[in-house]
Amino acid sequence: MTYQEKRSIVTLISTILIFAAYCLYMYPRYPEQGAELSELLHYWGAFVLVLMLISIIAHIVISIVFNIIYRMTTGEKEPGFTDELDRIIELRAHRTSFLLFILGFLCAMGSLVLEQPLYIMFDILIAAGFLADVSGSITKLYHYRRGI
Amino acid sequence: MRNNLVGNHIRRLRFDHDEMTQQQLADKVGVTRQTIVALEKGNYSPSLELAFRIARAFSLPIESIFYYEENAKK
């Protein structure tokens, strides 16, 4: 298995673990029933912003740790650049992620049209963001293994 | 399973050139080893620019390395 394939798998697993751990931490902190709209919006805004911040920091740390472990176990240095194949795969991964997120966004807006509670809209939006991230990693892994 | 219609003789040519490794060829043409692996497996058709760089690395015309096959996709 090549560096890029291993990296895609590590990214995929870490994305799932970070999201699951964060949700387990945050959902019990959901404002109690009868909370004001401003309190609910504050909760969801903080949920998304902190999740993004934690994800970025965790991915950077995991990437550094992964590169150190990769060098120690294989004796090879990780590629220091992206070539044309990497760029094409990256574009395809972005396309998949983008399409999934847009689909989720439309569903989230649909839930508002159908007069669903606010948390449904945010749940769909956050789930779409998560699935978009996961699908990007899966797309990368698929194309690194099967070609384009 | 072949994914594209452009085949190549890169693997054979590497061995004909003092058993050049995939990493050595990758360094010569400015791509990662993963890309050479994908090319040899027939999983990727290179850009014209990369094809020329590979041809230059082996000091051969491009058509001696890459070929087009109509019935590759199944």
Q: What is the pLDDT of residue A37?
A: 87
- If pLDDT is split at 50, 70 and 90, which confidence band does A77 have? confident
Q: Do B32 and A81 touch (CB under 8 A)?
A: yes
> If you write DSSP's letter for every residue of B9-71 in order, what string do you get?
-HHHHHHHTTT--HHHHHHHHTS-HHHHHHHHTT--PPPHHHHHHHHHHTTS-GGGTEEE-TT
Residue A84 has pLDDT above 70, yes or no: yes
pLDDT reading at A54 higher than 70: yes
Q: What is the DSSP letter of A29?
A: G
Q: Residue holding tokens 């497996």?
A: B41
Once rounded to an integer, what is the mean pLDDT over residues A45-60? 93
Shortest CA distance from B47: residue in chain A = A84
Positive or negative: CA dihedral A113, A114, A120, A126? negative
Nearest CB neighbour to A84, from listed B31, B37, B42: B31
pLDDT for res B72? 52
Please tell me what DSSP assigns to residue B7: E
What is the spatial distance between Cα B33 and Cα B9, in angstroms, rounded to a whole number? 16
Counted domains in chain A: 1
Residue B66 phi, psi (nearest 5) = -110, 145
* Whether A85 and B42 lie within 8 Å, measured CB to CB: no
Confidence band for A94, pLDDT divided at 50, 70 and 90: very high
Pick the residue from chain A with its C-alpha nearest to B35: A85
pLDDT attached to residue B18: 87
Question: Searching chain B, which residue's CA lies closest to the CA of residue A146?
Answer: B43
| Domain extent for A11 | 3-146
| pLDDT by 10-residue block (mean), chain B, 74 residues | 75 92 93 91 92 94 88 52
Q: Are A15 and A134 in contact (CB under 8 A)?
A: yes
| CA of B8 vs chain A CAs: smallest distance (Å) | 15
Q: Does B32 touch chain A (CB under 8 A)?
A: yes
Please give the pLDDT value at position B3: 54
Provide the mean pLDDT of chain A. 92
Q: What is the average per-residue pLDDT within A116-138?
A: 94
**pLDDT beyond 60 at A147:** yes
Question: Alpha-carbon distance A147 to B7, whole Å?
Answer: 13
Closest chain B residue to A80, measured at CA = B32
Considering only CB atoms, A86 lies closest to which of B32, B43, B50, namely: B32
pLDDT at position A80 over 60: yes
Name the DSSP letter for residue A27: G
- pLDDT at site A21: 95
Read off the pLDDT of each residue in A56-62 and give the average, rounded to a whole number.
93
Buried b (16+ CB within 10 A) or exposed e, A16-41: eebbeebeeeeeeeeeeeeeeeeebe
Task: Decide if B33 touches A, using CB distance below 8 A.
Answer: yes
Among B30, B43, B47, select the one facing A147 at the smallest CB separation.
B43
